[in-house]
Amino acid sequence: MDDQPKTDKINQRASGLNSSRKADAARPLPPRMQRDLEVEFEHRISKLIHSFEERVHKFKTHINDLENRVEELSVAKDRARSAFDDFLSLQELNEMIRSTLEPVEVVSALVNLVQKSIDFEAMGVYLIDSEKGGLKPLGVLPSKMSQVAKSQYDEGIIDWVIGERRPVIVPWTETFGSATEDKTKHLILTPLIVADQPLGIALTVTTRNPDRFSSHDLRLLFFAVSHAAVAIQNALQAREIAQTRDFLSNLLENAGDIIISLDQFGKISYVNPSIEELGLNREELIEKHFKALFHNPEAERRIQSTLKRGSRQVFDLTMEGAGKNQQKYTVNLVPLKSSDNQRIGALAILRNVSELNRLQKKLLESERLAAYTQTVITLNHEINNPLTTVLGNVYLLDKEAQSSKDTKLTMRLKVIQENCQRIQRVIKRLERIDELKTVSYLGSTKMVDLGDDEATESND
């Protein structure tokens, strides 16, 4: 633009020269002057051409700069578009992860994301089985892939990849899936690591040459797998928590004991179905004060003590059952505390000991009866044997007394015989007792009731 005035002046002077030449065309110029004019004209034309060439060169340089800039902007645009697409894909993965608690669905979202940037034949996630050792597939995966994963694990390659903390491409030549031709395949092993703890491995089977994987591809793969690893761990923990919660809930709901939880204000926040043995509706008790259930002053005092001071207590309590019969319970009171050790309520466990007491009493009676039976057997053995000998000798003496007509001896032997027979009847009555009953003997002394002697004689 700065050379424009000079160009205009040159053009004007050239135009003037042409005009003067036309005016002087009729008269000839001296040869020397004519040569000078031609030299000057050629010099000016040469300068003009040089000026134009410089301007053209500048324009070409500027155009090249613009083309390079356009190319750089195009590359930057493609990178920005690729980065934005990656961001949208990761955002899609994140949305999918947040909307599910199923590890298999997380893996499905991961596969869909990786498929957009890496062409592969198969992809699967395997978790490290810390209990049994080895790997366990997350979802249903081809058996061939599982064999390859096991081989990589047994050879220590997976442990090495986890130590590298990055995707590693290793060669593998095998017919996989529906492929009909043998192709050179590669395995991309990407570790699943959460908070420095190895969770598993993502195994990707691809036919792409390792040289065609850019660092950006591998970084995106590692980032996506790491993001999915966190989601998988959260899903597994959520599943474990849910299973534990269901187990505890089932345990509480089916417990034979009555379980009641109270908040810090003494209101009932939970009660299990066993409360129905007291003829009460569990739904009607929720949000009511514990005094609506416990009418015993001693029980109320103990519950208040646990709520206010956090004391653990065990005491006995009698309550009216569904059939208006009295039921005895052992109450175990424990305080409930939050994670920061603050009291938030109390838990009461009521165990019905009425049946237990009855069974214990019955067991005690059975043991007493068993001991009694053993005693009777001992008496039967230790008394009947010598008693039989006594009766035999009495019988012989009685015959001798009758032969000698000794009336006094006969009467005395008869008394001995009758008392021995009485002892035998007592032993038999002892053997027939199936329930121990006592009667007063002297003062506060008790003795076993042997029943009616006449009934024994009639049975004999």
Q: What is the largest CA-CA distance in the chain?
A: 218
Select from 299, 322, 352 the last residue of a domain: 352
Task: Please indicate, yes or no, if residue 90 is contained in any of the structural domains.
Answer: yes
| Integer Cα distance of 41 and 397 in angstroms | 189
> Cα separations (Å) of 64 from 55, 58, 72, 254?
14, 10, 12, 84
Per-residue confidence in pLDDT tens, the chain, 460 aa:
455 565 566 566 656 555 555 555 556 667 777 777 778 888 888 888 888 888 888 888 888 888 888 888 887 776 666 665 656 566 666 666 666 678 888 888 888 878 877 888 889 999 998 888 889 998 888 888 888 888 888 888 999 999 999 999 988 755 545 544 446 788 999 999 988 889 999 999 888 888 888 887 888 888 888 888 888 888 888 888 888 989 988 888 888 889 999 999 999 999 999 988 888 888 999 999 999 888 888 999 999 999 999 889 999 988 887 666 788 889 999 999 988 888 899 999 998 887 777 777 778 877 777 777 777 777 777 777 787 888 888 888 888 878 887 888 888 888 888 888 888 888 777 777 666 666 666 666 666 666 665 544 545 5
The CATH number of the domain where 284 resides is what?
Answer: 3.30.450.20
- Whether residues 1 and 12 share a domain: the answer is yes
Give the model confidence (pLDDT) of 253-289 as tens digits.
888 889 999 999 999 999 999 988 888 888 999 999 9
- Whether residues 302 and 233 share a domain: the answer is no
Nearest CA to 271 among 347, 354, 351? 347
Task: Please indicate, yes or no, if residue 357 is contained in any of the structural domains.
Answer: no
The CATH number of the domain where 174 resides is what?
Answer: 3.30.450.40
Q: What is the token pair recorded at 28?
A: 């000839």
b/e code 343-371 from CB counts within 10 Å (16+ = b) = eebbebbbebbeeeeeeeeeeeeeeeeee
- Whether residues 90 and 150 share a domain: the answer is no
Domain count, the chain: 4
Domain of 342 in residue numbering reads as 255-352
Task: Please indicate, yes or no, if residue 120 is contained in any of the structural domains.
Answer: yes
CA dihedral 69, 72, 77, 79 (to 10 degrees): -170
Select from 330, 352, 374 the last residue of a domain: 352
| Integer Cα distance of 153 and 160 in angstroms | 10
- Whether residues 343 and 277 share a domain: the answer is yes
Chain mean position to CA 26: 114
- Whether residues 337 and 311 share a domain: the answer is yes
| Integer Cα distance of 193 and 2 in angstroms | 66
- Whether residues 111 and 80 share a domain: the answer is no
**Total-model pTM:** 0.54
175 φ/ψ angles, rounded to the nearest 5 degrees: -80, 125
Task: Please indicate, yes or no, if residue 229 is contained in any of the structural domains.
Answer: yes
Select from 290, 321, 352 the last residue of a domain: 352
- Whether residues 453 and 436 share a domain: the answer is yes
CB 172 within 8 A of CB 188: no
Nearest CA to 52 among 44, 37, 65? 44
